[in-house]
Amino acid sequence: MKHFNCTCAFFLFLAFISFIMINAGCAPKARLPVSALGTPEHHVFTGMKLLEAGKLLDAEREFGLANELDHEYSPAYTGLGLTFGYKGDFKSAFDNMCLAEKLAISKQEQALAYVGFMRLYTQQKDKDWLGEVEKNFERARDTIKDVPDMPEPYFYMGLACKEACEFDDAAYALKRVLEINKTFVDKADHELKLVQKIERAMPETPFGKKVALLEKVTRADVAALFIQELRLETIREGAFLKEIPIPVDVQDHPLRGDVKTVIGLGVQGLGVFPDGTFAPNEFVTRASYAMMIADIVCTLTDDPSLATRYRGNTSPFADVRSDVPYFNAIMVCTTRGIIEPKREMRQDIFDPRGRVSGADAVLAIRNLKEHLRIL
């Protein structure tokens, strides 16, 4: 009987232990760090770097590891929210950002969650998106009013204003980042110079403002700029508009009408290729853009001698020989201040194979208008 009672007690003990283990397993456990760097903070720091580099899957993994180590770590949810935003899953993005706001235990974490909302609304660009960005900017700024040297709200407010073509407001916010002089200084300086270049270009049309934000412009973009921003069809009075069949690769393009008009006007370097295509999505190089602009200058000034004026001259650019086909065009544009050269290693260069940014494309059109006095 005594042996039986001991046996029963032993099995009851095992059953109790099993019950405890099973119930303990129902609740999520925080993963233990495997190294000194295996902290939520380090994983979020790494995830943000990966996110900036466009490595979304790797970034998501790092934020997930941070979440496993601390299920209530607000910045991990901020990172996950941004990752889902870049992937276009805004439902998951906003859900995670709401958790980031709810779980924030410091003013900085709360402010960063508001900045996260700013970034998501800027990515989504839904109805009244700029208004939502401004609301969260105010929340972030009010949260850190006792810590005024946090640049993130101002930097992302600057980017949002730039995207909305509110260039004065963008410049003000970016200058504030430079005044704080903590982080984002290089990025803010780059963005501010871009905004100031766009302000110099003063694009007059909605399309011109949109193109000014592009890192690289295509042949179709340039064709539309010549028609909408330069109004080339209007200023070339009496020009013979040739009726040319629309290239097959342009028939369904949204800028089809502008491309057709430019082809009819016969701008050098912006015509149909021998195979009958236009290549509307091909990026434009600085050399080819110079040839297009120079052709317009020659035509509008009625001075055909410009087409050969600089042949035989010594090239002032370290990366452009005087015997290349586009040398004369480059000289036409640079000597008139239409396209700006670059400075590298104490030498003037033109970067003929470099891509043309939207800001540079629109600024060149502004300079062209001033040169031809057609403002």
pLDDT tens digits in sequence order for the chain, 375 residues long: 444 344 444 444 444 444 444 444 444 455 545 444 679 999 999 999 999 999 999 999 999 999 999 999 999 999 999 999 999 999 999 999 999 999 999 999 999 999 999 999 999 999 999 999 999 999 999 999 877 789 999 999 999 999 999 999 999 999 999 999 999 999 999 999 999 999 999 999 999 999 999 999 999 999 999 999 999 988 876 555 667 788 999 999 999 999 999 998 999 999 999 999 999 999 999 999 999 999 999 999 989 899 999 999 999 999 999 999 999 999 999 999 999 999 888 899 999 999 999 999 999 999 999 999 886
Same domain as 210, residue 127: no
Rounded CA-CA distance 270/255 in Å is 14
Give the tokens for residue 224: 């539309």
- Domain-located, residue 26: no
The DSSP-derived string for 240-291 is -----PPPTTTTT-TTHHHHHHHHHHT-TTSS--TTS---TTSBPBHHHHHH
Contact 223, 254 (CB under 8 A): no
Rounded CA-CA distance 372/375 in Å is 8
Tell me, what amino acid is at 292?
A: M
Contact 103, 78 (CB under 8 A): no
Of 358, 49, 323, the C-alpha closest to 203 is: 358
Same domain as 163, residue 220: no
Same domain as 258, residue 281: yes
Same domain as 298, residue 193: no
- Domain-located, residue 12: no
Last residue of a domain, one of 149, 172, 201: 201
Place of tokens 């410091």: 106
Same domain as 161, residue 181: yes
Same domain as 217, residue 182: no
Rounded CA-CA distance 265/299 in Å is 11
pLDDT at site 240: 54
- Domain-located, residue 343: yes
Same domain as 148, residue 89: yes
Contact 329, 293 (CB under 8 A): yes
Task: State the maximum Cα–Cα separation within the chain, in Å, rounded to a whole number.
Answer: 121
Structural domain for 349, as ranges: 206-372
Helix axes 152-163, 185-201, angle to 10 degrees: 30
Same domain as 296, residue 353: yes
3 state SS of 355: strand
Same domain as 222, residue 174: no
Tell me, what amino acid is at 340?
A: E
Contact 94, 136 (CB under 8 A): no
- Domain-located, residue 106: yes
- Domain-located, residue 275: yes
Torsion angles phi and psi, residue 283, rounded to 5: -75, 145
Q: CATH number for the domain including 63?
A: 1.25.40.10
The DSSP-derived string for 25-36 is HHSPPPPPPSST
Same domain as 280, residue 181: no
Same domain as 58, residue 177: yes
- Domain-located, residue 10: no
Contact 363, 338 (CB under 8 A): no
CA torsion sign for 165, 166, 168, 173 is: negative
pLDDT at site 106: 94
- Domain-located, residue 4: no
**What is the value of pTM for the model shown?**
0.82
Place of tokens 């008009």: 261
Q: What is the total count of domains within the chain?
A: 2
Same domain as 179, residue 275: no
Last residue of a domain, one of 138, 170, 201: 201
Last residue of a domain, one of 201, 218, 233: 201
- Domain-located, residue 116: yes
3 state SS of 347: strand
Torsion angles phi and psi, residue 342, rounded to 5: -120, 165
